[in-house]
Amino acid sequence: MLNRKICVVTGGAGHLGSAITHALAKAGALVYALGRDQEKLASLAGINQEFESPRVFPVSLDVTDASAFKFRIDSIVAEHNKIDCLINNANAAGRENWEQLDKKAWLAGFEGTLNHFFTCTQAVFPHMKRANAGSIINTGSIFSFLAPQFPMHLDLNNAAAAHHSAAKGAALQLTKHLAAEWGKFNIRVNMVSPGYFPRKRGPERLDYMKEITVRIPMQRIGKPEEVAGAFVFLASEQASYVTGHNLVVDGGYSIW
């Protein structure tokens, strides 16, 4: 499906990122998984045991460093003569509530959530334009178009922060804008918006899990591998006529 396509995944060793990296590799892509956590990056090496030759290439890199990211992209293109897909997935924003926010935290939220979408996309654009082909996929959130239901978060203080919602909303509009502007270059730009994919159920807070699942038609939270297929589809030629789309993967949470 993605035979020998060159894909770059920012935040490629994280909770959802590692599932995306794995799914792309299983579909035949060569995947450069970028991240800052050395332990998580090292854990990706095991994926290559599934294949005859390596398909996953972990790269230690802070994607908010625009010059370092551009250097890495140029190096990848120099080696493979192309880049087929960029997945902007990295996220390093906090969860401050409104009373905890100041301007510094607000700007840091946009830096960790949104600004690298711009600089990373800027780095791949000339290569995709020259090839007259490419797929850019931004990881969004249901909070790019919905407001959090604060009562369901009880006393955990883990609802999406205002800067997260605002930044993901901006990323959604950026996705649509670039899809409109770059369609003539055969560059597709889409978004995948996951619903609830918490890292663990947390037996000490079963009440919180109940608060989530009763609001989801499928009556359960998502598994990381269940969102990864959306990225594989949008990266593939099966989605050759899909651009400017926000593919929501939330078990039906947003239909109510």
**201 pLDDT exceeds 70?**
no
Taking only the tens place, the pLDDT of each residue in 53-79 is 999 999 999 999 999 999 999 999 999
**22 pLDDT exceeds 70?**
yes
8 Å CB contact between 114 and 161: no
Six token digits for residue 4: 């020998």
pLDDT classification of 239: cutoffs 50, 70, 90: very high
**48 pLDDT exceeds 90?**
yes
Concatenate the DSSP letters of all residues of the chain into one string: --TT-EEEEETTTSTTHHHHHHHHHHTT-EEEEEES-HHHHHHGGGGGGGSSS--EEEEE--TT-HHHHHHHHHHHHHHHS---EEEE---------GGG--HHHHHHHHIIIIIHHHHHHHHHHHHHHHHT-EEEEEE--GGGTS---GGGGTTS--SPPHHHHHHHHHHHHHHHHHHHHHGGGTEEEEEEEE----S---GGGHHHHHHHHTTSTTSSPPPHHHHHHHHHHHHSGGGTT--S-EEEESTTGGG-
Taking only the tens place, the pLDDT of each residue in 203-222 is 568 888 899 999 999 999 99
Q: What percent of the chain has pLDDT over 90?
A: 90
What's the rounded Cα separation, in Å, for the pair 191 and 87? 9
Chain mean pLDDT for the chain: 95
Report the pLDDT value the prediction gives residue 94, as an integer from 0 to 100: 87
Taking only the tens place, the pLDDT of each residue in 173-186 is 999 999 999 999 99
Phi, psi of 192 (to 5 degrees): -115, 125
What's the rounded Cα separation, in Å, for the pair 132 and 221? 39
Residue with tokens 């699942």: 213
Report the pLDDT value the prediction gives residue 198, as an integer from 0 to 100: 86
Burial of 63 (0-12, 13-18, 19+ CB in 10 A): buried
What is the average pLDDT across 37-61? 96
CATH of 6-255, one of 3.50.50.60, 3.40.50.720, 3.40.605.10, 3.30.43.10: 3.40.50.720
For the chain, domain boundaries: 6-255
Report the pLDDT value the prediction gives residue 200, as an integer from 0 to 100: 66
Taking only the tens place, the pLDDT of each residue in 154-173 is 888 889 999 999 999 999 99
Contacts of 247 (CB under 8 A, 6+ apart): 190, 191, 192, 193, 230, 233, 234
Report the pLDDT value the prediction gives residue 139, as an integer from 0 to 100: 98
Taking only the tens place, the pLDDT of each residue in 112-148 is 999 999 999 999 999 999 999 999 999 999 999 999 9
Buried b (16+ CB within 10 A) or exposed e, 243-254: bbbbbbbbbebe
What's the rounded Cα separation, in Å, for the pair 239 and 209? 34
Report the pLDDT value the prediction gives residue 181, as an integer from 0 to 100: 98
Nearest to 32 by CA among 86, 68, 71: 86
For residue 197, the tally of other CB atoms under 10 A from its CB is: 17
